[in-house]
Structure formats: C-alpha cells, structure tokens
Amino acid sequence: MPYLTKQYKFCAAHRYWNAGWSEQKNKENFDKDIFIHGHNYLLDVTVSGPINPESGFVINLKILNDIIKYKVLDILDHSQIEKDIGWFSDKQPSTENLVIYIWEQISMDIPLPAKLYKIRLQETPTIYTEYYGLDDE
C-alpha cells in the first residue's frame, strides 16, 4: 500500500512551565525555554490507502489541504500554543503533545478508504517527533 506525505509549515510560540514546580525546578528542567519563544514548524502528514483507479491518488490533495488548513494551521499558526489552545491548558506545548493534538484534530476527517498513518512534526533542524496514533485506531 502506498504512503503519501504532504508537508505544511506554520509558526507558533510557546513556553514551558509547570505551575506545580518551583521557579528553580522549572529552570532546571526547561532552562531558557521558560521564556516565550517561537519556532517555524514543519508538519508532515502521511496517509496510506489504495490508489483510486480513476484519479490515480491515495487521497485528493485539495481535501487533505482543506482539512489541515481548517483543523490545524488556522488554529496553530501564529498562536502562543499553551495560552491560545484549550487542549494545552494542562499540557506542555511540546512536540510530543502537539503530534497527539494534531492527530486528534484530523484523524477522523481523512476520507476513507485513505487512513492517517503518521504525523511528523519538526520543531528545529535537530528535533522532531513522530506519532502513529493509538494501536486500536
């Protein structure tokens, strides 16, 4: 089965802070990331499925682009993640949590027979997180 990956870009800011910790413990764990800072994220969305014999595609890219625009980019782009998005009110705005958030926003909207296979989110040139959903999805 083919796997199609489409890449998107967005910019967002965040800061790491655990309100249950002292300032010292926050500094020890998060260092300078306790201050608001931003990233130019690269988001790879991978879908799999059979090739439609009429279109030759696994998924109509206009449909995928619309899903990502309305469910991800319009929400995350130019946000301060932990302040602007309620899902993060009790979670750190890490790439680990972001990939789960993105998966939850789009997985049910991918039109069958295509299926969301993987989310890959790159925060900097040297760090990214991949997520394949839950085992029972």
pLDDT in tens, 45-99: 999 999 999 999 999 999 999 999 999 999 999 999 999 999 999 999 999 999 9
Per-residue model confidence (pLDDT) at position 1: 87
Q: Please, which residues have CB within 8 angstroms of residue 89's CB and are 6 or more apart in sequence?
A: 82
Instruction: State how far the Cα of 135 lies from the Cα of 137, in Å rounded to an integer.
Output: 6
Contacts from 86-92 at CB under 8 Å and sequence distance 24+? Answer: 92/16, 92/18
DSSP symbols for 44-61: EEEEE-PPPTTT--SS-H
pLDDT in tens, 5-55: 999 999 999 999 999 999 999 999 999 999 999 999 999 999 999 999 999
Q: For strand 79-80 and strand 127-131, is the pairing parallel, antiparallel, or unpaired?
A: unpaired
Per-residue model confidence (pLDDT) at position 135: 63
